[in-house]
Amino acid sequence: MRQIGIGIAGLGTVGAGVYKHLAQNRALLTERVGAELVVRRAVVRDVNKPRVAGPPPGELTTRWQDLIDDPAVDIVVELMGGIDEPLALINAAIDAGKVVVTGNKALLAEHGREIFARAAGKKVPVFFEASTAGGIPIIKTIREALIANHIVSIHGIINGTSNYILTRMTDAGLDFSTALAEAQAQGYAEADPTLDINGWDAAHKAIILASLAYGFWVETGNIFVEGIDKLTATDIRFAGELGYRVKLLAIIKADAGPENGGGVEVRVHPTLIPKTHVLASVSGVFNAVRVCGDVVGETLFYGRGAGQDPTASAVISDLAEAAVALNGERRCYGFTPHGLYGTCRPLEGIRSRYYLRLAVDDRPGVLAQVAGILGHNEIGISSVVQPETHDEAGRAQLVLMLDRASHRQMQTALDEILRLGCVMPPAALLRVESFGAE
């Protein structure tokens, strides 16, 4: 049986899982791939550190360059994390003609354009299923299974940490800081959870999905990103009373078809989702991605979006495909650009429905002043809730559900509202998604 040599850069949680499951399912993989996948070298920071799973000490190294120089390594697996060193490794592997597998979402989001251009120039495939949504095979789905479709929209809950925090805030009434501390204690959040709670972990994944779906590489500066760190238990509660659950949602849409210019919007932010929609029921650390195509219609993918085993499963699926790629010419080397789309819509023109909560003086005429400003900016009010209870400062709470308006309209109106003497900042402003039902 032919053997294919693998070099793994990084034996952390995911790398150790890849090694473990390659050994555990060796016979199954050999039968299905038609070759034996063998780890030849692994790059670690400390070769003397005790490990539960990994190659023998003689196959460990602290230099990623050893993977490039070793002729027994056919496929390089990058699981190091970070940007600069992984980029250098991947570029060197491509130049050496070694197939690349990576799960590095931040690296691909920031340098995907140059990586895939280099890969196409050298005719070396790059596989990256593990970069987005863990064990959910969403990359292969968009790139292969839905190849006949113009992608109308993608909606994704693609960060398990934020979803766990929001689930606990919703179901147990916890405030944000308490829910975050619980997520860290349970091992669902890192000691430094910044990228999870500020929205950028999900945004990196959204960039990859949008780029695959629409054939041009989306730049990080062209998307709107807002995290969950400013959310309050009060707004979670009001949203529930109005029939919604709040999720950190990645939204990718092509409102106009390619024949109309193909403007694409990409955004990540806390979003009110109707409780009746299936995405509202995605709880805990689970991920879900809804993809709507013009041919297939609506599809839904659900599963664990992180963790050793789901991510290792995605890496090994790429290894199996990489093994096949070693034997034949490929047309696609990871990303296929095309000219049907090609622009991101500016945030100012993107339209949404909104949830707005204001702290106001409890006196007559306040609602009329707020409604007057909204009306002047051509923003309709679909419903108003004013609870009889007051906040700890004695202020009344005014909650408005607003009709569709552009970001520019909404920000102009909100700036005017916050200048009213009867309104105390800050306001809580959240977007509402009804999945084409508006």
Tokens representing residue 204 in the block: 């990196």
Residue 108: name the closest of 15, 201, 202, 204 by CA. Answer: 204
Whole-angstrom distance, CA of residue 398 vs CA of residue 370: 10
Domain extents in the chain: 3-127+309-325, 140-305, 351-432
Considering the domain 351-432 in this protein, what is its CATH number?
Answer: 3.30.70.260
49 is catalytic: no
CB 273 within 8 A of CB 279: yes
Instruction: Collect all residues with Cβ–Cβ distance below 8 Å to 146 and sequence separation of at least 6.
Output: 291, 293, 296, 299
pLDDT attached to residue 438: 45
Q: Which fold has domain 140-305?
A: Dihydrodipicolinate Reductase; domain 2 (3.30.360)
- pTM of the complete model: 0.95
CB 152 within 8 A of CB 293: yes
Return the residue matching tokens 């250098």: 88
**Count of C-beta atoms within a 10 Å radius of residue 246:** 22
Of 98, 105, 205, 253, the active-site residue reads 205
Give me the numbers of helices (H) and strands (E) for the chain, helices first please: 14, 17
Burial class from Cβ neighbours inside 10 Å (0-12, 13-18, 19+) for residue 91 reads middle
pLDDT attached to residue 261: 55
Q: Is 140-305 in the same CATH topology as 3-127+309-325?
A: no
pLDDT attached to residue 393: 75
Considering the domain 3-127+309-325 in this protein, what is its CATH number?
Answer: 3.40.50.720
Q: What angle do CA 252, 257, 259 make, to 5 degrees?
A: 145
**Which residues are 41's β-sheet partners?**
7
Which residues, given as ranges, of the chain have pLDDT below 70?
A: 255-262, 436-438
pLDDT attached to residue 413: 98
Whole-angstrom distance, CA of residue 99 vs CA of residue 123: 9
